[in-house]
Amino acid sequence: MGWPHGGGEYAEETYGEVTVLVGARRVAYPYANSLLVRGADATLLVNPSLSLVHGAPPPDVVLVSHAHEDHMAGLGGYDVPVHDHDADLSPLRSREVMVAGFGYPPEEADAADRMLHDDFCVTGRPDAVGFTDGTVFDLGGHTVTMVHLPGHTPGHSGFLIEPDGFFFEFWRGLAEFAEVVERREAALLAFLAEPRTVPEIADHRLVYRPHVSGPHVDPVERHTATHHLAA
């Protein structure tokens, strides 16, 4: 598999002043949804995804629900203030910190770093500013309140838009599960830039961290490697 470098497309779903920009392939990684809220004074964009890399509406401020690549691939296109939760600020500011957070062994971490740069245009935003639970962005006639929902990442947050009563949370179980699988697959493809055998891939560890041992590890790794290769 593979995807065009920033050639995503999106569709608009409108709920009053709130527009959900639905990524190509719906919510599937790497094309996550984005959210656009228009107030009388300002327009706010949440999670500029890969689908927006070409020609997205111009916002005055950008928020990121959590510092993962599929929710920030479009960031480079915006020369406006960027905010995410204090607890996810470091990986948003630095791609190196984001990759370290994946906990991959060195070779796979290098592949993941290349993938973030080449496929997700992630460059890090050292200028990003933190918010906390309850921080309010007043857009004029509409407010967006940060709701801290740690778990998927330490700083993962949802967004309550009032008076519309619209709540947006990007952690949708299946989509995020797919995100983990897809990232692993993309890292595998980067690893496969040179030919590898199934045992080599299994040794490389797609599923378990290097310190995990046991009779189940090798069969699961071989099964997963074979499954990914067949996909």
CB of 153 to Zn ion, least distance (A): 6
The answer to whether 73 touches 42, Cβ cutoff 8 Å, is no
Q: Among residues 68 and 184, whose Cβ is nearest to Zn ion?
A: 68
CB of 152 to Zn ion, least distance (A): 6
Radius of gyration of the chain (CA): 19
Contacts of 15 (CB under 8 A, 6+ apart): 164, 166
The answer to whether 136 touches 162, Cβ cutoff 8 Å, is no
Q: Which of 39, 44, 68, 116 binds Zn ion (CB under 5 A)?
A: 68
Q: Is 196 exposed, middle or buried (0-12, 13-18, 19+ CB in 10 A)?
A: middle
CB of 181 to Zn ion, least distance (A): 12
Number of residues binding to Zn ion, judged by CB under 5 A: 1
Q: Among residues 39 and 155, whose Cβ is nearest to Zn ion?
A: 155
Stretch that binds Zn ion, among 15-23, 41-49, 61-69, 130-138 (CB under 5 A): 61-69
Note whether 183 binds Zn ion by CB under 5 A: no
Q: Among residues 92 and 139, whose Cβ is nearest to Zn ion?
A: 92
**Partners of 166 in beta bridges:** 161
Cis-peptide into 163, omega within 30 deg: yes
CB of 71 to Zn ion, least distance (A): 6
CB of 165 to Zn ion, least distance (A): 25
**Partners of 43 in beta bridges:** 38
Interface contacts to Zn ion, rule CB under 5 A: 68
